[in-house]
Structure 1
Amino acid sequence: MHPYLYAQENPDKPAVIMASSGAVETYGELDKASNRMAHLFRSEGLQIGDTVAVLLDNHPNFFDFAWGAQRAGLYYVAIPSRLTAAEVSYILSDSGASLLVSAESKRSVVNELRKLNPDVTQYIYGIEDGRAMEPALAAMPDTPIDDERHGTDMLYSSGTTGRPKGVRIAFPEDENIAAPNAMVTMAQAAFGFQPGCIYLSPAPLYHAAPLRWCMTVHKMGGTTIIMERFDPEQALALIEKYKVDVSQWVPTHFNRMLKLPEEVRAKYDVWTLKSAVHAAAPCPVPVKEKMIDWWGPVLMEYYAGSEGNGFTFINSADWLEHKGSVGKALIGTVRICDEDDNEVAAGEEGQIYFEGGNPFSYHNDPEKTKAASNKHGWTSLGDVGKVDEDGFLHLTDRKSFMIISGGVNIYPQEIENLLVTHPKITDAAVIGAPDEDMGEKVVAVVQPSDMADATPEFAQELEAYLRETLSGVKVPRQIDFRAELPREATGKLYKRLLRDEYWGKTGSRIV
């Protein structure tokens, strides 16, 4: 399975449709463009096993780059488009990328990178100097290179708790660019994707899930609808317009669609959806309940990471019987361990490990790679959870986010999940801040739907709301307000930034 096969069978079929502009790239056009890209890489001396990088928003030519690198046998690094020049420079240096593809909208960043990474060749869409991509590609053949070989992505962690780390996975043993793919098998068997499906992608393509799922759809001859940026009403309109049957989301998307007025939600026909896949962050139980009530039993959830060391899955029917679960393992065996790496009984919390999953390493960081394994050789993404009596995994939180207040372990996720169900709250983050008596105190940083509600009186209202459900030790001792939280467009929250800020200052404040 590979896009070039569909280019031969049906060259005029849309492979990519940009949601806002309506720009279409057919399979025939994608095949020729990716061939030109592969030739460009070879013309720059890039050989099998080398590394290239891309710094683009959800751009119409994103997949020209990705499929060009895939068929040239390269590692391709998708860099978050909102990073600063210094942050991009770190990833370029760490990954060993020798060529960067970008666009005119990133001109200020890439110009700075010419000084920071002078040895990295640049090609840029939409400019007219010597780095211009369009004329360089036009000069290349649109036929395959002679030495095609299956390459793969090299993705970086989101850096929510520190500097991002690259996950470098060995190339597939089968060099054939159209070799069978585990994601295709999983998409069909578990998630219900069918050949020729219509897939809506509302998230940034530089993130692991959107990039990999979109390329999986291309391997199946489907059409990907790419949102340039997420808008809750536009997402519903796109489902109706294109009769979308499969999609991939994060819980933040669900919450923002649910906060639309009822009359707006009711305007759109979403009944073509057969599979709404979600991951990246735990979904609050009330949010998922409402989504299933609205869209029907089409929600499919998984738990995994860029590392690929394990994978759990749950459909709507099983979730309704095990609310809050992220399912059972399809890759690896779930093990829950205590601080001494001993497996704990069902129902007891501990760090989540996968036994027998896919091996991985963090690029240039043997210590972090070693720390991801326990004495049994099982590997972990650093999350905490438990397995119920029926073997379904439930996430508690990331171990690094745990708050220790007066000797009591408090996991923020439970508090955050409750806060976002409040009708006046759009987003929330809970962190530990320094406290002289308790060591740490629970602080909630809240994004209200209307900043006019950012008052001490509303903070008191939220405290009373939380006390109805939570024990006193979990109720935040401080509630602050922000117009926006530092959340990546992929749904990941940059909690590190909030923690760093609060550990540098104390005292209540309304921002």
Structure 2
Amino acid sequence: MSATHRPPTSNATPHFVEVVAATVERFGHRPLLSAHGSGAALTYADVWGWAGASAQRLAGVGATPGERVVVRAPKSVEMLIAYLAALRLGAVWTPVAPTATTTELNQVIDDAEPRVVIDGNRALCDMVGAAPAGAPEPQPGDWPNPTPGPDQIAAMLYTSGTTGRPKGVPITGAALSANAHALVDAWRFTEHDVLVHALPIHHAHGLFVAVGCVLASGSSMRWIDRFDATEVIDGLRKATMFMGVPTHFVRLLEDSGFDRATCASVRLLISGSAPLPAVTFQHIADRTGLEVVERYGMTETLMLASNPIDGIRKPGSVGLPLPGVEVRLGSFDDADRPGRATEVGMVEVRGPSVFEHYWGRPPDPADRASAADDDHAEGPAQQPWFRTGDLGRFDADGYLHLVGRSKDLIISGGLNVYPAEVEAVLEGQPGVAEVAVIGLPDDHWGQQVTAIVVPDTGPAPSDEFCEQLVASARERLSAYKLPRQVHLTDALPRNTMGKVDKAALRRSFG
């Protein structure tokens, strides 16, 4: 029997543009966002009208329903308006990182075959135009304004595959709606919430999680174009929520202003996109009195799990499957599926926000697991399972713990070593700020466990520091899990999502 968590059945879900339109109708007079330092707030009606005028401009340059609109530009209010304009038009919003090279941008263009490309902030501002001061909302007859079906693609994000070339992940309007509604319910968003938004919006965390929750609930945002600890702390004094990646929380902890007084009105701190070390979780709780809510998702699936608002929030766990989401552990080595909840397996999922296949590519059997062995046969149960590539385990309370990516699994002397387990032990040692554990080739063991350590800001590590680090870990780790090499470095390489780039570490230290 597999460790499986099943959702209730759900009714048909509308396209996300209908969700936003309903929010605007209900809360049009309320503030949607205020940019840091500007003082002025834009209401829902302001933003929706601006997006309507911008949709006219997009239509004028050839954007039509179903056509891709590729955008490379820094985060800005105008970027958000352009996204909403594409939604209103029924076009497919396709952002790339503002730091993407011309080669990377061209790879996306070659694959997506967009009708419109907006490259750079100036081009974006020209397309969006200025906020219409008191301008009337465009009428449906003024520009193509179809009501997209729920299964129509609303956005496409690109993620690198095993080939290294970007692969497009089509995301339907219904998937965006299901994702937003599940999170609004799980995190109890209301129109009275104020979110400090300091995330990029070219990926799912900043756009579909953070902005999605706001647009579905009628809440508001303190908008910060680029993460800055001082600006975030200033925003938190009048906010109820903050979403960030672990690196953001580390930077906040470095500022003495991140404390209980600053967070007096804050009810939720939410972390995602990368694992939050348990020691960082505890430091945040000590400083602010708030326990961080860790959650789990990926571009291909949107959000899958979250620690609960009520009940225990477990450090090192991504919590419980969200309503509407099924999670189980499957085989990752062609063996039988794990039968006990404490066993490690490949995280397999299905639900209303899980994508079907990559853009322009047929479904890959390696990405899916059969539903033939399900022990129930009702509706959604027949949907194949998506194999995430993440390894995890369930604890006795049903909480999901991720232990690493399958590609990062270390096999030393024929035994499996899960990097997250070793990292959790080393991160708790004195003098350690951050650590990443990788496997490097070894003629005798096949792979050797190697730790890359960033020392904290205290005294410079002595020659015995690395030896003491391993010696201290012996009490909690079996011998085969202990690092055979420890390298010190000033910083760990990270991608735009804040995740440690272990491939880069293997290249540097291998």
What TM-score, normalized by structure 1, do the two folds share?
Answer: 0.80
Could you say which residue in structure 1 is the equivalent of 2:225? Answer: 228
Match of 1:52 among 69, 72, 77: 69
Could you say which residue in structure 2 is the equivalent of 1:113? Answer: none
Q: Cα deviations across residues 349-385 of structure 1 (Å, max 9, x unaligned)?
A: 1111125554521223436x32111233321211111
CA RMSD of aligned residues (A): 3.3
Match of 1:149 among 147, 151, 155: 147
Q: 1:4 offset after TM fit, Å?
A: 5.5
Residue 175 of structure 2 is aligned to residue 168 of structure 1:
no
Q: Which amino acid aligns with 2:280?
A: V
Change (3 A) 1:227 1:356: closer
Change (3 A) 1:20 1:479: farther
Change (3 A) 1:346 1:437: same
Q: Following the alignment from structure 1 to structure 2, what is the Cα–Cα distance between the partners of residues 343 and 362? A: 28
1:90 is paired with a residue of what secondary structure? helix
Q: Following the alignment from structure 2 to structure 1, what is the Cα–Cα distance between the partners of residues 217 and 249? A: 26
Pairs within 5 Å for 1:386-465: 386-422=393-429, 424-450=431-457, 453=460, 456-465=463-472
* Paired residues of 2:62 and 2:116 also in contact (CA < 8 A): no
Segment drifting more, 21-30 vs 406-415: 21-30
Match of 2:81 among 49, 64, 79: 64
Q: 1:439 offset after TM fit, Å?
A: 1.8
Q: 1:160 offset after TM fit, Å?
A: 9.2
* Paired residues of 1:302 and 1:314 also in contact (CA < 8 A): yes
Pairs within 5 Å for 1:260-271: 260=255, 263-266=256-259, 268-271=261-264
Change (3 A) 1:428 1:204: farther
Q: Which amino acid aligns with 1:235?
A: V
Residue 340 of structure 2 is aligned to residue 345 of structure 1:
yes
1:417 is paired with a residue of what secondary structure? helix
Q: Following the alignment from structure 1 to structure 2, what is the Cα–Cα distance between the partners of residues 383 and 224? A: 32
Q: 1:418 offset after TM fit, Å?
A: 3.6
Residue 329 of structure 2 is aligned to residue 336 of structure 1:
yes
Could you say which residue in structure 2 is the equivalent of 1:120? Answer: none
Q: 1:214 offset after TM fit, Å?
A: 0.9
Q: Which amino acid aligns with 1:364?
A: G
Could you say which residue in structure 1 is the equivalent of 2:349? Answer: 354
Q: 1:303 offset after TM fit, Å?
A: 1.9
* Paired residues of 2:75 and 2:201 also in contact (CA < 8 A): yes
Residue 314 of structure 2 is aligned to residue 315 of structure 1:
no
Q: 1:194 offset after TM fit, Å?
A: 0.5
Q: Which runs of 5+ in 1 are unaligned?
A: 106-122, 126-131, 174-179, 504-511
Change (3 A) 1:21 1:302: same
* Paired residues of 1:309 and 1:360 also in contact (CA < 8 A): no
Q: 1:294 offset after TM fit, Å?
A: 4.1
Q: 1:67 offset after TM fit, Å?
A: 0.2
Q: Following the alignment from structure 1 to structure 2, what is the Cα–Cα distance between the partners of residues 24 and 298? A: 30
Q: Following the alignment from structure 2 to structure 1, what is the Cα–Cα distance between the partners of residues 259 and 156? A: 41
Q: Which amino acid aligns with 2:469?
A: L
2:94 is paired with a residue of what secondary structure? strand
Q: Cα deviations across residues 468-497 of structure 1 (Å, max 9, x unaligned)?
A: 533333232222233332213432222222
Could you say which residue in structure 2 is the equivalent of 1:129? Answer: none
Q: Cα deviations across residues 229-254 of structure 1 (Å, max 9, x unaligned)?
A: 323343222201xx211222223333
2:171 is paired with a residue of what secondary structure? coil
Q: 1:171 offset after TM fit, Å?
A: 4.2
Residue 44 of structure 2 is aligned to residue 27 of structure 1:
yes
Pairs within 5 Å for 1:25-104: 25-104=42-121
* Paired residues of 1:341 and 1:375 also in contact (CA < 8 A): no
Could you say which residue in structure 1 is the equivalent of 2:5? Answer: none
Q: Which amino acid aligns with 2:301?
A: G
Segment drifting more, 471-480 vs 37-46: 471-480
Q: Which amino acid aligns with 2:154?
A: T
* Paired residues of 1:40 and 1:136 also in contact (CA < 8 A): no
1:81 is paired with a residue of what secondary structure? coil
Match of 1:216 among 202, 213, 217: 213
Could you say which residue in structure 1 is the equivalent of 2:377? Answer: none
Segment drifting more, 45-54 vs 456-465: 456-465
Change (3 A) 1:341 1:71: farther
Aligned residues: 468
Change (3 A) 1:88 1:462: farther
Change (3 A) 1:219 1:322: closer
Q: Following the alignment from structure 1 to structure 2, what is the Cα–Cα distance between the partners of residues 264 and 440? A: 44
Q: 1:308 offset after TM fit, Å?
A: 2.2
Residue 196 of structure 2 is aligned to residue 200 of structure 1:
yes
Residue 268 of structure 2 is aligned to residue 275 of structure 1:
yes
Q: Cα deviations across residues 207-248 of structure 1 (Å, max 9, x unaligned)?
A: 2021012133033322222333323343222201xx211222
1:496 is paired with a residue of what secondary structure? helix
* Paired residues of 1:277 and 1:300 also in contact (CA < 8 A): yes
Q: Following the alignment from structure 1 to structure 2, what is the Cα–Cα distance between the partners of residues 294 and 146? A: 52
Q: Following the alignment from structure 2 to structure 1, what is the Cα–Cα distance between the partners of residues 484 and 179? A: 45
Q: Which amino acid aligns with 2:359?
A: H
Q: Following the alignment from structure 1 to structure 2, what is the Cα–Cα distance between the partners of residues 159 and 272? A: 42
**Once the two structures are aligned, what percentage of the paired residues are identical?**
27
Change (3 A) 1:231 1:366: same
Change (3 A) 1:23 1:440: farther
* Paired residues of 2:93 and 2:155 also in contact (CA < 8 A): yes
1:47 is paired with a residue of what secondary structure? coil
Could you say which residue in structure 1 is the equivalent of 2:480? Answer: 473
* Paired residues of 2:341 and 2:395 also in contact (CA < 8 A): yes
